[in-house]
Structure 1
């Protein structure tokens, strides 16, 4: 796989997880890079190279349900307790006491939960695009349904018949052609509120399955962020695995909310929030108020970037990670 170190495997939390590792093993604490949906460890290829060349040990897994990592059948096998336990098991496999966890998109939700659920294993946290929020006042799926309607993609993802999975799974190349592009323009309606960490404007078209079903790349003026060879890595992986594993993460949002009652949401480790100026789903405004939950928080804005920040602006994201890591951890 282009620009990636050799693939390795770990037995962790009842599954076999594929991961990539680079940089000196003596470097402590290492940085664990956690991808979002629909992505892979490959999404971090630029950061793996840059961080390891800077002398930082870096580890990037295909997370549960993705790529070469196992895809258990039960939906509840993808709740936040399992996703965080997978990362603890990966540290155990590598005999690492503590790590800095870096997460983009859904990976961001996971890494912000790590210091709440496994504080002894976390040295620091970096969220890319995805903010840390307090527990929602009601079931997040019901809040999203009320705010955006039945066609909002996360609401659609709750469909027990897996119709969204089938739409993406039968149009894999269309899916990556449509998603992996720079935004056409800066969103004109930043979120005025955040619902369970999803801060999109209600005027956005969030009916992603229907968007993909009707998509034609020939009429899309936006600039792709992937080369044809890079896009093929994603297409090949998701052609083999389908999308259900990753979508099952969304199918646990209500369960995660129910089971987090009484959990202290204060993050007590050094933290960095990297925001993307033109992310329409997770805009910079969605990170407002994070300092109330994270006493040691820095924020950094990547200008002229949409949602796929570490792939759209790889040099800037890598440089910020290296600078913050060196300044805060030596």
Structure 2
């Protein structure tokens, strides 16, 4: 699938780089996940290479902020694997108590007192919230917890689809994929790592919101094209852009090419929107634009290298 992706996806025209401390942060993230009981051994998490993805997303961040992002991505991978490979996400009634307990963690902003129904996922999420709070940026903590809520509720949508063997229509999938991909909490912690938040007076600009949606689409659709074969080894899963487009066209090859075409078109739209924002708002938005560029490029490069999709 990698050779197909390389042949049909337009390479993002952004510079790629990795943080110098990637290997050390990878070890620390694995130790964190084991200490909190998220994993029994590091094999599956090592294949996912959370630190490699994080270090590409913020190659020049302070090490503690890179660790925070790497640990979040590790948590998201563990949750994703629990839902997709370990069966937690196949039945909404089974998933619901876990989601409710994790929402309780978010409501408390990581303070003690959460319900125990989510096992080690809860304490690990609480730890992430507490570490975000250390930076004394209340708006960042609120943005992070809000994005995590959207992610968790979107997992219930996926579970309901699986329960009924439902393939969602394309427009619905595109909307929900931005949330199931965990893009927005990851962007929040990358903005924190790089001090990449747009100025407050710019954040309500509809064009800025449009750019965030475009970036989220590109990150998720790139992942979908690279991961399609891996996700179908144990049977088809409805939650991939190739799958939903194939259901519309009735042909898998046509669906694969349509997914790539959507990515390539969206990348062109992203570049135009980014250029317009820079022209209107100047250097004040450049750090925030760099965060989104980094994530788009990071996803492409990480997808080529990670054993997760080998």
TM-score, normalised relative to structure 2: 0.30
Which gives a bigger RCO, structure 1 or 2 (Cα 8 Å, sep 6+)? 2
TM-score, normalised relative to structure 1: 0.28
Going by fraction, where is strand more abundant, 1 or 2?
Answer: 1
